[in-house]
């Protein structure tokens, strides 16, 4: 079986404002409730996750992630409504674009060999 | 300034039959005239370049790269006509898809801050 995947990266000057890795990180923060938990679930250092969040928050007009101070677990992080909206829109554009690319690739995919050709 | 880049990967079973890295490698083989020269120009080991060529050649119905035996430089490699066609089609789909994604991203890009916000 063949399948087509696309990765969409939004560059802003010299850095990447948003892309597949940052989208995954937002999903993980949303489900884990903290940056440290999200980092752990993605096998990423806390520092790297924190840096990615800082870049995201500075790249958009509003913050995507907000930190929660204190509480029984010593604080955590969650997506803002704006963060949820950005993530959802990215995911939708991603799906729609993947369908478009697939529709453009009929001829290209027909030049591929059956899977069994590759050892 | 914001810009949008996309990477298109064609998966075939458990491996990647074609994508941005393999497209770059084909371009490099075409301009360098050998797999070793292409590997060097991409800062890639000869073994890795060779393996990528083997996967590509096995992934399509015809080989994309052919080796030239002998000659004053001890042999080399070049793209087959089929290889040129596959590369050209990939590059065209890539450009067309990037324009499509960009057209879908008007609203998303309007939520980005000016570049000067990011340190």
Q: For chain B, percent helix, then strand, then coil, each to nearest 5? A: 55, 20, 25
Distance of alpha carbon B48 from alpha carbon A69, whole angstroms: 48
Evaluate if residue A17 carries a pLDDT over 90: yes
A4·B11 Cβ contact <8 A:
yes
B10-109 domain in CATH 1.10.10.10?
A: yes
Rg, C-alpha atoms of chain B: 18
Instruction: Give the B window 24-53 contacts with A, CB below 8 Å.
Output: none
Do A26 and A79 touch, CB atoms closer than 8 A?
yes
Q: 3-class DSSP state for residue A78? A: strand
What are the backbone angles phi and psi of residue B66, rounded to the nearest 5°? Answer: -125, 145
Do A50 and A34 touch, CB atoms closer than 8 A?
no
Evaluate if residue B94 carries a pLDDT over 90: yes
pLDDT for position B72: 58
The full set of domain ranges for chain B reads 10-109
Evaluate if residue B84 carries a pLDDT over 60: yes
Strands B15-18 and B65-68: unpaired
Do A56 and A64 touch, CB atoms closer than 8 A?
yes
Q: What is the pLDDT of residues B11-65, one digit of tens each?
A: 988 889 999 999 999 999 999 999 999 999 999 999 999 999 999 999 999 999 9
Chain B's closest residue to A97, CA to CA, is B101
| pTM (global) more than 0.95 | no
| A2 contacts on B by Cβ (under 8 Å) | 10-12, 17
What mean pLDDT is predicted for residues A3-19? 92
Distance of alpha carbon B83 from alpha carbon B16, whole angstroms: 17
- The interface pTM score, or ipTM, of the predicted complex is 0.82
Other C-beta atoms closer than 10 Å to the C-beta of A97 total 21
Q: What is the pLDDT of residues A84-104, one digit of tens each?
A: 999 999 999 999 999 999 999
Closest-CA distance, A26 to chain B, in angstroms, reads 16
Evaluate if residue B66 carries a pLDDT over 60: yes
Do B86 and B80 touch, CB atoms closer than 8 A?
no
Query: Does A106 contact B at CB distance below 8 Å?
Result: no
Other C-beta atoms closer than 10 Å to the C-beta of A106 total 8
pLDDT for position B70: 66
B17·A112 Cβ contact <8 A:
yes
């Amino acid at each position: 079986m063949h399948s087509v995947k696309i990765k969409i990266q939004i560059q802003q000057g010299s850095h990447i404002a948003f892309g597949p890795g940052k989208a995954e990180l937002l999903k993980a923060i949303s489900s884990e409730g903290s940056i440290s938990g999200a980092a752990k679930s993605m096998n990423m250092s806390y520092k790297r996750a924190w840096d990615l969040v800082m870049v995201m928050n500075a790249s958009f007009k509003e913050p995507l992630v907000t930190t929660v101070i204190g509480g029984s677990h010593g604080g955590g992080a969650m997506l803002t409504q704006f963060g949820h909206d950005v993530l959802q829109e990215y995911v939708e554009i991603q799906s729609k674009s993947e369908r478009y690319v697939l529709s453009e690739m009929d001829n290209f995919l027909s030049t591929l060999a059956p899977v069994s050709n590759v050892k």
